[in-house]
Amino acid sequence: MRIVIVGAGEVGFHIAQRLVLEKKEVVVIDKDETAIARLMERLDVQTMQGSGASPKILLAAGIREAQILLAVTDNDEANLIACIFANLLAPKLQKIVRLRNEDYHEYQDALAKDILDVSLVANPDYEVIQTLLRLIETPDVEEISDFAGGQIRLVRKKLADASPLNGLQLLNLPRIFQDTRIVIGAIIRNEQLIIPKGDDRLQGGDNLYFVCEKNDLRKIIGLFGEKIHPVKNILIVGGGKIGYRLAQTLDRLHYHTKVVEKDPVRSGYLSTRLHRTIVLQGDGTDVELLEQENIRSMDMVIAMTGDEELNILSCLLAKRLGAPKTVVRINKFAYMSLVKTIGIDYIVSTRMAAVNSILRFIRQGKIISTVAIAGEEAEVLEAVAQDNSAIVGAPLKKLKFPKAAIILCIIRGEEVIIPTGESIIQPRDHLVIMATRATILQVEESLRVKINRKNSLSLPGLPKVTWERS
């Protein structure tokens, strides 16, 4: 598969890095000589220096031989022009465009269907707000993503030393959780990714990735031995596009929200637009201001300015002054591992949101959603089983499926099935699959190509859960 990427910034670089590891043929276009040099130094991709909005450059990059164009620069207009010329030069090409300008948001359906014929208009700001709302709803976890239209949740939860689950063998999970269904798909222990087996034991300090039904999540957190801490009072540092849209949403949901905005003109604008939200003109790193606003009474502080260093400093200061939960907006991927070690609870990233949105359209075999986990060592995919798929029609234990991949659950209509080795996938079932980065291609192959059932082998490494809804 040949993929042309317009834009070698953080998003373009990160997508190219992932695709190269999956043996895709990648061409990256960018005007910036430094960005191109960085790519050539670190990745095995073809590069072209120039404007992706130029038809000559697109032709030279092999747009007519490509299957997908990704227009992901930081300039919305350049992305739109690249798609317009791609439409003229290669009408059958699948196009994905990244757009962040609020003025384009209400026209994105028309852009996708009528004007540009693009497969996806990626709006990372919207994705970030949805992530924040999930964290606010369930603040006692480290990470949370939705699948199957929000019916299934993928959660990362750190296991406390005092948890009753500490030392428990996975094969004994049903005894603890009983009719509450959960599948632990991955364990991060001492920064190592473990694909667990039934005889593995949980340890205090483990980061567990598990899936469950949305309505079961609060009960599951309770079974971890922790109290639920609902979020009611929220302080947002930064009243820019994302901060404003988040405050609007929280306003409608009747949270007690305050916004700190440094710019006096912007803070005045926010005051006239937000009804229940208190808008404060000031600096999120002003200790006197934070203490005056009783920062200790805030259940969560969310730093959403465009300045990453300011966001980090605001959260660290809020934490020191007594705020229990902090969320920082980070766009530089290099900062993410650092931030996790200094005491900030959550990270959100518009660029990572864009990467996750775009990758699902590149996957093969009706993959409709994908989320990177474990420092991108693995992915969780939501896929639709097709009539001619290799995984349809035989018990899971008989399938030729990678050892380092697990089918976490099957959604069949309104029914959620936690699978066993005897479970049989039917056409049009939605599957939630966890796979290490090295096995993504094999998973795609299983979803796409019919295998010869007579030659199929029984392999270990399938889901270790031993119960199924009748």
Instruction: Point out which residues pair with 97 in neighbouring strands.
Output: 71, 121
367 pLDDT tier (thresholds 50, 70, 90): low
Contacts of 223 (CB under 8 A, 6+ apart): 164, 165, 176, 177, 180
| 423-432 mean pLDDT | 90
Residue-averaged pLDDT of the chain: 86
Residue 465: the pLDDT is: 34
Which tops the pLDDT comparison, 361 or 432? Answer: 432
Which tops the pLDDT comparison, 446 or 410? Answer: 410
Residue 352: the pLDDT is: 83
Query: Is residue 100 over pLDDT 90?
Result: no
Residue 77: the pLDDT is: 93
Query: Is residue 208 over pLDDT 90?
Result: yes
**Contact indicator for 389, 446 with CB cutoff of 8 Å:** yes
Q: Which amino acid is at 319?
A: K
| 367-372 mean pLDDT | 72
Residue 120: the pLDDT is: 76
Residue 70: the pLDDT is: 94
Query: Is residue 234 over pLDDT 60?
Result: yes
Residue 468: the pLDDT is: 37
* Whole-number Å distance between alpha carbons of 458 and 456: 7
Which tops the pLDDT comparison, 437 or 469? Answer: 437
Residue 339: the pLDDT is: 80
353-455 has CATH 2.40.128.30 classification: no
Instruction: Residue 150: count other Cβ atoms within 10 Å of its Cβ.
Output: 10
Q: Residue 25 is encoded by which pair of tokens?
A: 């043929």
What percent of the chain is predicted at pLDDT more than 90?
44
What are the residue ranges spanned by the domains of the chain? 2-122, 128-223, 233-352, 353-455
What percent of the chain is predicted at pLDDT more than 70?
92
Residue 469: the pLDDT is: 35
363 pLDDT tier (thresholds 50, 70, 90): low
366 pLDDT tier (thresholds 50, 70, 90): low
Same fold? 2-122, 233-352: yes
pLDDT tens figures, 297-310: 999 999 999 999 99
Query: Is residue 220 over pLDDT 50?
Result: yes
| 409-426 mean pLDDT | 87
Query: Residue 460: which of 418, 409, 399, 385 has the closest Cα?
Result: 399
Q: Which CATH architecture has domain 128-223?
A: 2-Layer Sandwich (3.30)
Find the range with the poorest average confidence among 25-39, 330-344, 370-384, 448-462: 448-462
CATH annotation of 2-122: 3.40.50.720
* Whole-number Å distance between alpha carbons of 73 and 87: 18
CATH annotation of 233-352: 3.40.50.720
Query: Is residue 449 over pLDDT 60?
Result: no
Read off the DSSP letter of residue 112: I
- The pTM (predicted TM-score) of the whole model is 0.77
| 60-87 mean pLDDT | 93
pLDDT tens figures, 244-268: 999 999 999 999 999 999 999 999 9
Which tops the pLDDT comparison, 284 or 198? Answer: 284
| 359-366 mean pLDDT | 63
Query: Is residue 457 over pLDDT 60?
Result: no
Which tops the pLDDT comparison, 287 or 455? Answer: 287
Cα 168 from chain centroid? 29
pLDDT tens figures, 269-287: 999 999 899 999 999 999 9
For the four alpha carbons of 347, 353, 354 and 356, in that order, the dihedral sign comes to: positive
Q: What is the largest CA-CA distance in the chain?
A: 73
Which tops the pLDDT comparison, 341 or 82? Answer: 82
Residue 462: the pLDDT is: 33
Instruction: Residue 390: count other Cβ atoms within 10 Å of its Cβ.
Output: 23
Residue 370: the pLDDT is: 74
pLDDT tens figures, 130-184: 889 989 988 888 888 888 878 888 999 999 999 999 999 998 888 888 888 888 9
Q: Residue 212 is encoded by which pair of tokens?
A: 């469950």
Query: Is residue 422 over pLDDT 60?
Result: yes
